Amino acid sequence: MTSPERSTSPPQQYAERSYRSPAALVGGALLILLGLWLGVDALLRGTAATSLTALFALLLGVPLVAAFSLRPLVRASEDRLLVRNPFRTIALPWSAVEGLRATFSAEVVTGAGAKYQLWAIPVSLRQRKKATRQAARGAGADRPRFGLNMDAGPVPKAMADQTLAELREIKERAAHRETARGEPRVRWSYAVLVPSLVGAVGLAVMLAL
């Protein structure tokens, strides 16, 4: 009688985490809709010169608004950190990430000393001050850990600081993973740069005429 084969469980997988700014998404979408409404109206009802000016203005404005509001993204997987900024996309294997920090803006620093801003993780000094005041009140009150005044939980953090703490945890888990090794790769976003450049040149020519 043969013994049943033992099934080996696959290595634990961690779901990708994506970070974006909800305020930037909403604001960018509203600005694009407003620009399209005004631009299309000028294209349909304006003179030839007005229509051409409106077209170049849309080519310049819509990609730039989308680049700074809808495009920014930070995605963390098991093996790498993907940073999508307005004009560039940076793929960083976790072994290439030296540190993550937030002062006036969130940044990732590579082992070679390169710094990349994380546009999708805005730093709110107001949130940080509020979290600091809450932590100070909790520590200064010397609250007991039982009864009605029991400890409510961990020290509050601003959203950016909490996000960077999560990213540091993912980096620590990937520290010894072979698939998390490699060199950073940077790609320019020509889908944003080319129409913006065409729109800027065309708009400058139309305004000069």
| pLDDT tens track for 77-112 | 999 999 999 999 999 999 999 999 988 889 999 999
* Residue 139: pLDDT band with limits 50, 70, 90: low
Say whether pLDDT at 151 is over 60.
Answer: no
DSSP secondary structure letters along 72-98: -EEEE-SSEEEEE-SSEEEEEEGGGEE
Mean pLDDT of 153-166: 77
Say whether pLDDT at 41 is over 80.
Answer: yes
Mean pLDDT of 137-159: 54
Say whether pLDDT at 165 is over 60.
Answer: yes
Phi/psi of residue 90, each to 5°?
Answer: -115, 120
Mean pLDDT of 104-128: 89
* Residue 160: pLDDT band with limits 50, 70, 90: confident
- Cβ neighbours of residue 5 under 8 Å, at least 6 residues apart? none
Whether residue 119 contacts residue 85, with contact meaning beta carbons closer than 8 Å, is answered with: yes
Of the two residues 93 and 130, the one the predictor is more confident about is 93
* Residue 167: pLDDT band with limits 50, 70, 90: very high
Mean pLDDT of 8-24: 73
* Residue 50: pLDDT band with limits 50, 70, 90: very high
* Residue 176: pLDDT band with limits 50, 70, 90: confident
Of the two residues 7 and 49, the one the predictor is more confident about is 49
- Cβ neighbours of residue 104 under 8 Å, at least 6 residues apart? 123, 125
Task: Report the pLDDT value the prediction gives residue 138, as an integer from 0 to 100.
Answer: 59
* Residue 146: pLDDT band with limits 50, 70, 90: very low
**Which value, in Å, is the radius of gyration of the alpha carbons in the chain?**
24
Q: Report how far Cα 87 is from the mean position of its chain's Cα atoms.
A: 12
